[in-house]
Amino acid sequence: MIKVGIVGGTGYTGVELLRLLALHPKVSVEVVTSRAEKGLRVDAVYPSLRGFNGLSFVEPVAENLMSCDVVFFATPNATAMHMAKTLLAAEVKLIDLSADFRLKDVEIWEEWYGAKHVCPELLEQTVYGLPEIHREAIKSALLVANPGCYPTATQLGFLPLITADVIETSMMIADAKSGVSGAGRSASVVGLMSESGESFKAYGVPGHRHLPEITQELNLQSSSPVSLTFTPHLVPMIRGIHATLYAPLKKTGVDLQRVFEEFYANEPFVDVLPAGAHPDTGDIRGTNRCQLAVHQPQGGRVVTVLSVIDNLVKGASGQAIHNMNIMFGLDEKAGLDQVGLYP
């Protein structure tokens, strides 16, 4: 059994890891940390885990994690980097769900995240954990940077078009909407029901910190520089991301449906819907799946891609477990065979 530690077990992504790993056939969760809930039983804080997890929360220090085979950091940004070197030296594999290791350029990271990076030397050896692109590198990785939720939905929608070289990469647009769980579990005015209910708004329009992550990764796959306008929105639902993506086509007459179906033919967690379909966030809720649909409105020169994921699963904890499965040579779908919740 793979011995797992989870740092930050009381946030949404931490408890989602606990939910998904509870039925994983090859995993034993050994350590769950929380500074605020230290000493309390996990199933006392989250009664949904009664009968599945009898551990108590412990202090988030490296000494408590040394016996693990892999540690997930479900923590705020600028947290994992403080323990990474110590745990790696103890031959513990790391999967970081925060942004600490996603960007290769430390100056760009410090500009967008407003902190000093304490171990920039680890950035080069980090593998970006989008399995559909970096599967081979993930297999031998010691440190995986789990992608952000918006970047996951956006990249999966654009990648077939970029690799097929059928779009003008200088005029790409991502219009993305997220449920309120994307903001985390900490109390904030924006997350209040009276603030977010019956309301809809954009945010981060001048610049959102997921933008450099998306452009970094798309540029690696593109033959020409990527210029992306990215606008996130908050919608009054709990889970889900819907990204509507636009780009000008280099030429008409391309079988876009075939481009997508061939690109994702062997991917267990990407579902290309039939031509003319409109994916719904409700259909993938609770699953590690991304559903995609590609359209060419009025047969014109602009392609429209619809991409939906559950931000807490495919956009965070489920993708992290997918990465773990690859790192340890397990069946990629182990622990991740959930059917979507409906209604």
What does the pLDDT read at residue 185? 63
Residue type, position 318, single letter: G
Torsion angle (degrees, nearest 10) of CA 222, 115, 186, 3: 70
What does the pLDDT read at residue 199? 85
DSSP character at residue 309: E
Evaluate whether 137 touches 251 at the Cβ level (below 8 Å).
no
The yes-or-no answer to whether 2-125 and 149-311 have a common fold is no
Which CATH number applies to 2-125: 3.10.20.30, 3.50.50.60, 3.40.50.1820, 3.40.50.720? Answer: 3.40.50.720
Count other C-beta atoms under 10 Å from residue 10's C-beta. Answer: 21
Give me 283's structure tokens: 């259909």
Q: Which of 68, 119, 149, 290 is catalytic?
A: 149
Torsion angle (degrees, nearest 10) of CA 274, 285, 196, 175: -30
In this prediction, residue 247 has a pLDDT band, given cuts at 50, 70 and 90, of very high
Mean pLDDT of 6-31: 97
Q: Which of 170, 106, 107, 157 is nearest to 130 (CA)?
A: 157
Cis peptide before 25 (omega within 30 of 0): no
Would you kindly state where each structural domain of the chain is located, as residue ranges? Answer: 2-125, 149-311
The pTM for the full model equals 0.96
Kindly report, residue by residue over 206-224, the tens digit of the pLDDT: 999 999 999 999 999 999 9
Domain 149-311 belongs in CATH node 3.40.50.300: no
Give me 118's structure tokens: 């304490």
Give me 138's structure tokens: 């993930």
Q: What share of the chain is helix, strand, coil (3-state, %, to 5)?
A: 35, 20, 45
Residue type, position 50, single letter: R
Residue that the structure tokens 């690859």 belong to: 326
The Cα–Cα gap between 75 and 179 comes to 19
In this prediction, residue 182 has a pLDDT band, given cuts at 50, 70 and 90, of confident
Residues 6+ apart with CB under 8 A from 262: none
Least confident window among 41-50, 187-196, 218-227: 187-196
Kindly report, residue by residue over 259-292, the tens digit of the pLDDT: 999 999 999 999 999 999 999 999 999 999 999 9
Instruction: Give yes or no: 68 in active site.
Output: no
Assess whether pLDDT exceeds 60 at residue 70: yes
Kindly report, residue by residue over 289-315, the tens digit of the pLDDT: 999 999 999 999 999 999 999 999 999
Mean pLDDT of 84-89: 98
Where does the chain show beta strands of DSSP type E?
A: 2-7, 27-33, 70-73, 93-96, 127-128, 143-145, 172-178, 201-202, 228-234, 241-248, 270-272, 290-295, 302-309
What does the pLDDT read at residue 186? 65
Q: In Å, what is the CA distance from 21 to each residue of 49, 145, 179?
A: 11, 19, 23
The Cα–Cα gap between 159 and 153 comes to 10
